[in-house]
Amino acid sequence: MKWMHVAAVCALALVSSALPPRQALAASASSRALAETAPIFANGPVRGGFQLVGKDLLPTIVVDPSDAAVVRHAADDLSDDILTVTGQRASVATAPAGKTAILVGTLGQSPVIDRLVATQRVDVSRLKGAWESFVIATVDRPAPGVDKALVVIGSDRRGTAFGVYEVAQAMGVSPWAWWADVTPKKREALYVRGGVYRFGPPSVRYRGIFVNDEDWGLYPWVVKTFDPERGDIGPKTYRKVFTLLLRLKANTLWPAMHHTTAPFNSDPANAKLAEEYAIVMGSSHAEAMLRNNVGEWKDDPAKFNYATNPDGVKAYWQERAQANAGFESLWTVGMRGIHDTGMVGPKTTEEKVALLDKIIADQREILSKNVNADVAKIPQIFVPYKEVLGIYRAGLKVPDDVTIVWPDDNFGYIRQFASAEEAGRKGGAGVYYHLSYLGYPLAYLWLSTTPPALVQEEMVHAWDKGARNVWIANVGDIKPAEIGTSHFLEMAWDIDRWRGKTQKQFLEDWMARNLGPDLAAKTADLMDRYYRLNFERRPEHLEWPPVAENRHLSSYTPQEVNARLRAFRSLVAETKATSGKVPPPLQDAWFELVEFPIRISAAANMRFFATERYNALIDGQQAMARSAGGAAVEAQTEITALTDRFNNKIAGGKWRWLMPEEPADSQWRIYRARPIPLPGAALTADPAPFLAAVDATVSAVSPVFEAEAFRSNRGWRLVEGVGRGEGVMIADAAGAELTLEVEAGAEGRSLRVGVLPIFPDGQGGEIALDVSIDGAAAQRLSWPRVVGSPAWAQGVLDNQLTAVVGSPLSPGKHLVRLTSRTGRIAVDQLRLVAPEVVAVHENH
């Protein structure tokens, strides 16, 4: 939406009251969209506005001492932000001390705000009783001696804090100013536009992140760089995390919980600080009742068994309920093993259902006795993660007021969407989603490569199916998942903000907000290509099962490898050229957010595929093999240099120890790609001949026909940014038809269909497609969606499921008709493959 003057909001609000309910809802949504995109600040004086900051002009930030602590924290941060932007510090006080002021307060908690409301200076009728909503308004003569004020009013304590941080963002301060060194543009003066700006309520009630697998990067960085005095993740680190969440309009945290880190609640200062910052503390699927079992269960691990030791486990849970009863929490109910394992004790599915039913009932009794006698008023979640989903499907009865938080399959594909009955439960539904993962078949902790387009497709569909109460994203170490975290939480705040928009549109908007508008379009293009290339194969997933004595390590043909490496080399060259145009104050942020992930993922691909070429050619074409070996060694040198720059040079060494090389250590080896032995120095040569061959090769990949290049379409829609081409075609219901033309050469190739490994609506099952060639009888292709199976593992590593249709095609053109037989099937491409490629693919 284009920037528009906020006066239109007031007019629209008046019109909506006279409309029928459905039209009024649409008008309200339009009003909200307008209010949340209209600029609060202008570049110079504007009619109806006023100057907030300038030479010899500074506002007082007024906060009543009776307001919540988080409001004062936000006001203090705003003072710091004004200093960063203008070079002048606005004081925070309980009363104004000049001609201008920023009046901040929560309804019912701030006398100065309540007086403005009582005299009808600001309309707060839609704020009263709303969840985390706020109004930003300009008011003339709000108090004696004050000519002009910018007023921030929240419906509750978080709403007020969000409003203050919204003012900071409107000034140009990114939520990632500290976490990604996004330096705001300097301004000598700040001019406010007159009007009223309304925000909220959010689309999702509880929105947050899970800091996980922190021993990879965050923990070493905290221990050795950020907080060596404590030597652990504690209040100093969590203060930064809490502030980031508030700046992103998030409200919930699942804290770090690996064995290296002291449990969050082991230090009362952590929980106290969370309460100060109004952050709702929860715990992961493996940590029922806010208990970090890895660090807090001190008894024999065998006794963490509710079937044989219910009293011991209940006492353990009750201790936490008593200690945290006074804090705002999101209580996880259910039970798994001590860490990320299945519940011990019962053997059969029926026994597991029965025991888990009892466990949840007993947990709710503990909560009713210690937190609130009306247990239905206590926010609770049940996460059917991994094996627990099977127990749920077998008949587990989750209490109606408990939110069912549906998990993805750890690779970005949501395993189950709420049915109408499940969505209609009082507790509703939510989603636990991974932007980072440690586990089978291979982890992805190094770089953040999940395309925003995939996240948006999955999360918008989940919201439409009723997942509106809890959204949690596993973000690993937070860095380098800045872009994905922003996108996830922006959708959770306003589900319609990016609905119908492309990945590139989001990226251009995000880059403009964080790195400035001048290079936003180019940077968005670079990152769009980064996500597309790495979606085809993540840099952490450059490993394939060996095939007999074959030295060819991947499922790509040599021609496909060349095409992939060419794409990366072109991307890196353009990234380096763009880097020189980035203003000096933003160079650190540019490197962290754009240049580092692009260049190091390109180097990882060169290291792997050049080594593969070396292995394949060394016996017969030694000169080219040694050149390829030189390219592999050069790529490793690049990886080492980029990692050193990230850790030791960017931002003056601020992130030292946060970014490891991959693979570089012995942690979690079973979940990480095997290191590839590089050729020794005596076996390598100048990489130039190999690189010239890569760059000069005319693509001779198997003929590919992207699904979006259809001849006719009935019932399919394009989702750009996912898949191998421009995007994928998705059918939301059975019976949708898509027709494509393919042309087979004289060699007689077979038709291979590639689809995304997404899950259908309902309880998993399979996705299916009918394929008819030249009007012949259709062949049914189906892919069972069984998490943990070999087919699932290959699908998430390839980000594609494939199947070959019938016999090889005769030379010439053929018409292929695809008919969806299940809802939510996403066709990526058709490919004509030679028999030997079919055999290699099936072996893999």
Spatial CB neighbours of 752, under 8 Å, sequence gap ≥ 6: 802, 803, 804, 805, 830, 831, 832, 833, 838, 841
pLDDT attached to residue 838 = 56
Q: 137 near 186, Cβ under 8 Å?
A: no
840, 826, 774: which is closest to 545 by C-alpha? Answer: 840
**Phi and psi (nearest 5°) for 680?**
-70, 165
Q: Where are the beta strands (DSSP E) in 273-427?
A: 280-281, 331-332, 380-382, 403-407
pLDDT attached to residue 545 = 83
Six-digit token string for 301: 């691990």
Does this model's pTM top 0.85? My answer is yes
pLDDT attached to residue 669 = 83
Pair type for strands 41-42 and 60-63: unpaired
567, 566, 569: which is closest to 697 by C-alpha? Answer: 566
Rounded Cα–Cα distance for residues 37 and 357 (Å) = 47
Q: Residues 607-629: pLDDT tens digits?
A: 999 999 999 999 999 999 999 99
Residues for the chain: how many in total? 844
CA distances from 356 to 367, 398, 451, 666 (A): 16, 10, 36, 36
Q: Residue 617: in which H helix or E strand, if any? A: helix 596-617
Amino acid at 73: H
pLDDT attached to residue 836 = 59
pLDDT attached to residue 674 = 86
The distance of Cα 156 from the centroid of its chain, to the nearest Å, equals 26
Q: 61 near 104, Cβ under 8 Å?
A: yes
Rounded Cα–Cα distance for residues 834 and 340 (Å) = 43
Q: 253 near 245, Cβ under 8 Å?
A: yes
Rounded Cα–Cα distance for residues 626 and 609 (Å) = 13
Spatial CB neighbours of 760, under 8 Å, sequence gap ≥ 6: 766, 767, 785, 822, 823, 824, 825
DSSP letter assigned to residue 311: H
234, 283, 232: which is closest to 260 by C-alpha? Answer: 232
Q: 735 near 817, Cβ under 8 Å?
A: no
pLDDT along the chain (844 residues), means of 10: 34 31 36 59 95 95 98 98 97 95 97 95 94 97 95 98 98 98 97 96 98 96 98 98 98 96 97 98 97 96 97 98 98 95 95 98 98 98 96 97 98 96 96 97 97 98 98 98 98 97 98 97 98 98 82 87 97 98 98 98 97 94 97 97 98 97 79 89 96 82 88 98 96 97 88 96 88 97 95 97 94 96 96 71 47
Question: Nearest-5° angle of CA 738, CA 744, CA 748?
Answer: 125
CA distances from 85 to 100, 103, 185, 424, 708 (A): 18, 20, 6, 47, 46
Question: For all residues of the chain together, what is the average pLDDT?
Answer: 93
The distance of Cα 593 from the centroid of its chain, to the nearest Å, equals 14
592, 569, 545: which is closest to 176 by C-alpha? Answer: 592
CA distances from 112 to 101, 133, 141, 143, 592 (A): 12, 19, 13, 8, 43
190, 302, 322, 164: which is closest to 243 by C-alpha? Answer: 164
Six-digit token string for 268: 């009362």
Q: SS3 for 99?
A: coil
pLDDT attached to residue 666 = 74
Termini Cα distance of the chain? 47
User: For the packed helices 69-86 and 268-276, what is the interaxial angle rounded to 10 degrees?
Assistant: 70
Per the DSSP assignment, residues forming a β-bridge with 813 are 743
Alpha helix ranges (H) inside 618-673: 622-644
Helix (H), strand (E), coil (C) string for 215-264: CCCHHHHHHHHHCCCCCCCCHHHHHHHHHHHHHCCCCEEECCCCCCCCCH
DSSP letter assigned to residue 117: H
Amino acid at 119: T
User: Of all residues in the chain, what percent carry a pLDDT higher than 70?
Assistant: 93
pLDDT attached to residue 748 = 79
User: For the packed helices 558-579 and 520-536, what is the interaxial angle rounded to 10 degrees?
Assistant: 160
155, 189, 176, 160: which is closest to 55 by C-alpha? Answer: 189
Q: Residues 288-340: pLDDT tens digits?
A: 999 999 999 999 999 999 999 999 999 999 999 999 999 999 999 999 999 88
Q: Residue 507: in which H helix or E strand, if any? A: helix 503-515
